[in-house]
Structure 1
Amino acid sequence: MQTAQAQAGMNQSTAVTQQLLNMTDQVNPWGTVDYTQNGSTSYVDSNGNRVTVPTFTQTTTFTPEQQAIFDKTQGAQTNLAGIAQEQSQRVAETLSDPFEFTNQDAADWAYDLAQTRIAPQQEKNEAALRTKLINSGLRPGTAAWNSEMERMTQSFNDQNNQLALTGRAQAFSEDLATRNQPLNELTALLSGSQVSNPAQMSSATPQTSVGGVDYAGMVQDQYAQKLASHNAMMGGLFGLAGQGAGAAIGRWG
């Protein structure tokens, strides 16, 4: 028990020394880091003794230029956080209405596009085909005429159907993007609202390692040495006693 108590006291001294050596004040182009003792705290160890250890405060101080940058950055992030809070209310209103998409709206959009872009071109193509057929000697109502016109009509229908399918996909994508835009803006605002210190001020303080005293080991070694010495001494005494007894037996013999 005495050995354990002594070892615990030495370990405590080593820990306190290690802490004091590791608290190195820093001075760099971005500011300073200082350590000051602010008091002490205590606890009851395993032996019922109250142990008191010092407590410290780490203070980081920026240079005036870095402090100004930090203040402005923090102010900007505060503004972003406020905007994000306001935007979140709008997002809640948007999400309260379920997302709706109708094929008819997409079809109407595609039809309007066709009337302004594709329909005029189709009319030109039809007029060109009619002129070509007449110049080839074909007349309306003949089988060859009807076959060519049917082929042209089918081509126009395929073109309109392709436009409708493409228009539906594009209209759906645009509607979904419009609905998601407030969410994307809110996410962007929240990602830029965290406050952080300059990376240069977060460099690790050099650490000093002080080896603890192996008091219990030394006590054990001392005990082993004494035990070995005692055994050697007892062995020598028993040897002398044995020699004396042998000499006496010789005389009596």
Structure 2
Amino acid sequence: MGKSKAPTPPDPKATAAAQTATNIGTAVANGYMGNVNQVTPDGSLTYSYTTQKWTDPLSGNVYDVPVATATQALSKTQKAIKDQNDAASLNLATLATSQSSRLNDLLGKPMDISKAPAAGDPSKLQLPQYQQFSGGPELQTSVGNAGNITRSYETDFDTSKYENALMARLNPQLDRDRAALETRLANQGLQPGSEAYNRAVDEANRTSNDARIAAVLNAGQEQTRLANLANQKASFENAAQAQAYGQALQNADFGNNAKQQMHQNSQSATAANNALKDQSFNAEQARINAQNTARANYLNEQYASRNQPINEISALLAGGQVTSPNFVPTQGQSMQPVDYAGLVQQNYQNQMATYNARQQAGKDMMGSIASIIGNLPLSDRRAKKNIEKVGRLNGHNLYEFRYRGEPGSGPKHIGVMAQEVEKIRPDAVIRGADGMRRVDYGRLFSAGKRDRKQR
């Protein structure tokens, strides 16, 4: 198998030159397709072409590059309007030229503003001096001491002294009544311990107890009466103290209200004075503004009189305008340039990929062949000894032999001679790296069977 060569890489200069030619051709085609002649009611637009030589600085190739010229033609009506406008513009320009001589005298003299009203003098506008508000009056914040409030009064809630006083008056009478009862009972012949005697004594005891209870109740009533009197005295004293405090508070409020009223009167007077000063300041400011407005109006009138001739001449020079044709935007067709350099490079990459694949396949095949050759039996006559023909098989001679280097007492081998087979079936003979021939017996005899079947 012969050794293949890698594909030759593309010449960049030749590729660039070819790409340039392709780009120029595409640009020329796009120019022809994009420049569309147009005809409108107001005129037409046509394109004409001339050629210009252009030399590629890289390759030296010379190209004829078309150059387009756009020609716009007005319709008859628009052409007539243009001619009339040109004539009118010429007349107006002539008139403006003759009138412009007036500007020499007008602009050659400075504008006289001596009769303009005087401007207001802002230095005479003095800011008003405002009167400051005085501080508030000093108010009375206390009313003095109106006396202490009576929070308690002396009352003795122990009624025993009242009870003792009443009992001191009552006990002697009770003792006399008891002695008289005992004397009367004795005179009646009633003995102590008898039922009548005891009944009379019990009745006397109940009467005595009732008298003592009444004395206790009277003592409580007396104590309550005295407590009420003390309470009334304390209430009277507190009412007198509250009345004195209220009178002092009213006097303080009256004095403070009077001071507040006087302070408000003073503030009102101050505010009125300040407002009067503001009014005077605003009036003076309005007078100055009126003077400035009058001066500005006078100057504007003078400027208008000075600019009027210039405006008239400018209007004469303006003239009329011709209506240009309105051409329809066209959507010219365009084509993209062929990427010739990219195609060349892609073709080279494809060739390299094919070459690399073949190289890899060759390496794989050589490895397989080497493996096969290593497994095939050595059939070269030069590697054999003691050769003796023993028969034929499928048209091939069979020999009995030993390989060189084997002992003479070893077993013999039977096979073909590679030199004989190579003359008839060269496809079944493989020459190894050592130059010795080997025979693929599978290929040799399977092919022989097929040959016989075909015959």
TM score, norm. by length of structure 2 = 0.38
1:17 aligns with 2:8: no
Provide the rounded CA distance (Å) in 2 between the counterparts of 1:44 and 1:82.
53
TM-fit CA distance, 1:177 = 1.3
- Structure 1's unaligned 5+ residue stretches are 109-159
Q: Which residue of 2 aligns with 1:171?
A: 298
Question: Is the CA contact (8 Å cut-off) linking 2:34 and 2:332 kept in structure 1?
Answer: yes
Distance in 1 (CA, whole Å) between partners of 2:55 and 2:99 is 53
Question: Could you say if the C-alpha distance between residues 27 and 199 of structure 1 is closer, same or farther in structure 2, counting changes exceeding 3 Å?
Answer: closer
Partner of 1:220: 345
1:229 aligns with 2:354: yes
- Taking the aligned partners of 2:99 and 2:289, their CA distance within structure 1 comes to 39
Tell me the CA shift for residue 74 of structure 1: 3.1
The 5-angstrom pairing of residues 68-147 of structure 1 reads: 68-85=80-97, 90-91=102-103, 94-102=106-114, 105-107=115-117
CA distance in 1, matches of 2:104, 2:329: 43
Query: Where in structure 2 are the equivalents of 1:46-61 lying within 5 Å?
Result: 46=57, 47-61=59-73
Q: CA deviation at 1:186?
A: 4.5
Distance of aligned partners of 1:243 and 1:45 in 2 relative to their CA distance in 1, 3 Å threshold: same
Q: Given that residues 7 and 215 in structure 1 are in contact (C-alpha distance below 8 angstroms), is that contact kept between their aligned partners in structure 2?
A: yes
Distance 2:83 2:362 in 1: 85
Which residue of 2 is the match for residue 198 of structure 1?
324
Instruction: Give the percent of matched residue pairs that are identical in Structure 1 and Structure 2.
Output: 33
Mapped to 1, the partners of 2:36 and 2:104 lie a distance apart of 50
Amino acid at match of 2:324: P
What is the CA deviation profile of residues 106-154 of structure 1, one whole-angstrom value per residue up to 9, with x for unaligned ones? 359xxxxxxxxxxxxxxxxxxxxxxxxxxxxxxxxxxxxxxxxxxxxxx
Q: Do the aligned partners of residues 197 and 107 (structure 1) sit closer, same or farther apart at CA in structure 2, a change above 3 Å counting?
A: closer
Which structure 2 segments of 5+ residues have no match? 1-12, 119-286, 378-455
Which is bigger in relative contact order (C-alpha 8 A, separation at least 6)?
1
Give, in whole Å, the separation in 2 of the partners of 1:22 and 1:43.
22
Which TM-score applies when normalising by structure 1?
A: 0.63
Question: Which residue of the partner structure matches residue 182 of structure 1?
Answer: 309
Confirm or deny: 8 A CA contact 2:81 2:322 kept in the other structure: no
Aligned match for 2:53, one of 42, 63, 68: 42
- Give the CA deviation at 1:8: 0.7
Q: 1:219 to 1:87 in 2, by over 3 A?
A: farther
Deviation at 1:86, TM superposition (A): 5.0
Secondary structure of 1:6's aligned partner: helix
Residue 332 of structure 2 aligns to a residue whose secondary structure is: coil
- Measure the CA separation in 2 of the matches of 1:92 and 1:218: 76
Shift of 1:72: 2.0
Distance 1:44 1:93 in 2: 64
Question: Conserved in 2, the CA contact under 8 Å of 1:26 and 1:33?
Answer: yes
Matched, 1:209 2:334: yes
CA distance in 1, matches of 2:370, 2:117: 126
Structure-2 separation of matches of 1:223 and 1:89: 82
